[in-house]
């Protein structure tokens, strides 16, 4: 497998979620994950990785055909007249319990790593692509919506079932991510895989159109490609949201601007360690220093 990742990259990804549940907690009535100390919404790295996996499966042909697959996905098998969901060991058998075959066929293992359970032992691969827990840059409220279902709760019932949904009115969610070139040597992640990863982050978020996720849109994707193993760290924390409204009152991109002064200043200080900066953003997004932002590639020396 050629063109294995050889340089470290750092990712900043921002997306908006409007009247939706960005990441429900199944142990808390599927309420949005929430930090009660600062009233910010939280989104797990698992949710973002699932977004990427679903996009690659549904839109890029990684669906089990022609040696292109997603390892961590639901598959089924039949015994007699019953259908069952496969466990990890049965999934590994789909690839002959062959580590190299799993790596060659499954892009999600090359990106995120994983545990490959075998008959006598398990193989653990640390993925080169890792994300911190996502967090909203603005404070949010959790809104409860109640309604009635289409069907009764049982036979001979005169009243339909009730449903309860939990959403946030608006959140600007930010993720920090990294691509570790050292781990890529073991998982065999390639430059082509990297481009599919970035496409999956952006387009996968745009294609989350389920009932609970409709209203999510990607806003900013920044990729810093380094010359060696150095990385800046805390890119999201260097972005400041500015608004005349309180965080709880924000409802759209019209209500705030992003101040990237700290981010640009830090990247410029490390310009000698940076090979390139790639940036993609939605034109609805407002910047306090927009003259320094353009879709495409940025020269860190000119920030």
4 inside domain: no
Confidence of residue 162 (pLDDT cuts 50, 70, 90): low
Confidence of residue 301 (pLDDT cuts 50, 70, 90): confident
3 inside domain: no
**pTM for the structure as a whole:** 0.92
Confidence of residue 210 (pLDDT cuts 50, 70, 90): confident
Domains held by the chain: number? 1
Report the chain's mean pLDDT, rounded to a whole number. 91
Residue environment code for 232-248, b if the CB has 16+ CB neighbours within 10 A, otherwise e: beebbebbebeeeeebe
1 inside domain: no
Where does the chain have alpha helices with state H?
45-59, 88-93, 99-105, 107-112, 181-187, 191-206, 261-269
Domain that holds residue 168: 9-302
236 inside domain: yes
pLDDT digits (tens, 9 = 90+) for 51-100: 999 999 999 999 998 899 999 999 998 888 999 899 988 999 999 989 99
257 inside domain: yes
Structure tokens at 201: 């982050």
- On whether the CB atoms of residues 102 and 115 are closer than 8 A, the answer is no
47 inside domain: yes
């Amino acid at each position: 497998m050629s063109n294995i990742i050889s340089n470290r990259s750092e990712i900043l990804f921002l997306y908006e979620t409007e009247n939706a549940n960005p990441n429900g907690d199944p142990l808390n009535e599927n309420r949005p994950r929430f930090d009660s100390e600062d009233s910010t919404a939280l989104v797990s790295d698992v949710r973002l990785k699932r977004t990427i996996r679903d996009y690659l499966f549904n839109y890029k042909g990684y669906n089990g055909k022609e040696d292109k697959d997603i390892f961590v996905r639901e598959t089924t098998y039949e015994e007699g007249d019953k259908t069952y969901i496969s466990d990890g060991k049965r999934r590994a058998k789909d690839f002959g319990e062959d580590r190299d075959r799993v790596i060659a066929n499954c892009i999600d293992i090359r990106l995120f790593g994983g545990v490959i359970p075998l008959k006598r032992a398990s193989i653990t691969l640390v993925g080169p692509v890792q994300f911190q827990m996502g967090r909203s840059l603005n404070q949010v409220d959790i809104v409860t919506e109640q309604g009635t279902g289409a069907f009764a709760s049982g036979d001979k019932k005169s009243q339909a079932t009730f449903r309860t949904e939990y959403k946030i009115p608006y959140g600007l969610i930010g993720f920090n991510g990294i691509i570790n070139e050292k781990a890529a040597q073991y998982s065999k992640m390639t430059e082509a895989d990297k481009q599919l990863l970035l496409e999956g982050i952006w387009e996968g978020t745009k294609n989350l159109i389920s009932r609970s996720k409709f209203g999510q849109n990607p806003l900013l994707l920044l990729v810093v490609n380094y010359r060696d193993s150095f990385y800046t760290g805390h890119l999201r924390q260097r972005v400041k949201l500015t608004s005349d409204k309180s965080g709880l009152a924000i409802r759209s991109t019209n209500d705030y601007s992003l101040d990237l002064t700290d981010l640009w200043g830090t990247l410029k200080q490390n310009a000698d360690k940076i090979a390139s900066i790639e940036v993609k953003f939605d034109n609805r997004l407002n910047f306090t220093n927009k003259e320094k932002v353009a879709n495409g590639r940025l020269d860190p020396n000119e920030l």
